[in-house]
């Protein structure tokens, strides 16, 4: 939903294949790279700029996905 809100992906469709569900996502052509951070690190506000410098190609380009309750970093995309 975060990627769709910023225009990186289009509509998505969830199909249930009994054991495993599948999600079909329409790509808009804007997505260059996306990644997952594993394990999910706890971060503080003072460390956010360090993570931005390590993950994103430039200061005003791309997004970092965080959880709201646990202050954990989930992934990034640009």
Task: Specify whether 22 is located in the same domain as 49.
Answer: no
Please tell me the predicted confidence (pLDDT) of residue 69: 80
pTM for this entry = 0.72
Do residues 6 and 63 touch, judged by C-beta distance below 8 A?
A: yes
Task: Specify whether 25 is located in the same domain as 40.
Answer: no
Largest CA distance in the chain: 44
Please tell me the predicted confidence (pLDDT) of residue 17: 73
Task: Specify whether 66 is located in the same domain as 46.
Answer: yes
Tens digits of pLDDT across the chain (78 residues): 889 999 999 999 988 877 788 889 999 999 999 999 988 888 888 988 898 999 999 888 899 998 888 789 899 999
Please tell me the predicted confidence (pLDDT) of residue 10: 94
What range does the domain containing 19 cover? 1-30
Task: Specify whether 24 is located in the same domain as 56.
Answer: no
- Tell me the C-alpha distance between 29 and 25, whole Å: 12
In angstroms, the Cα distances linking 62 to 22, 29, 37, 51 are 26, 14, 15, 12
Task: Specify whether 41 is located in the same domain as 17.
Answer: no
Task: Specify whether 76 is located in the same domain as 38.
Answer: yes
Please tell me the predicted confidence (pLDDT) of residue 63: 92
Total number of domains constituting the chain: 2
């Amino acid at each position: 939903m975060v990627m769709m809100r910023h225009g990186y992906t289009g509509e998505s469709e969830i199909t249930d294949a009994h054991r495993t569900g599948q999600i079909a996502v329409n790509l808009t052509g804007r997505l260059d790279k996306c990644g997952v951070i594993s394990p999910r690190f706890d971060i503080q506000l003072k460390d956010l700029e360090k993570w931005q410098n390590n993950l994103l190609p430039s200061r005003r380009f791309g997004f970092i996905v965080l959880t709201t309750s646990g202050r954990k970093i989930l992934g990034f995309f640009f």
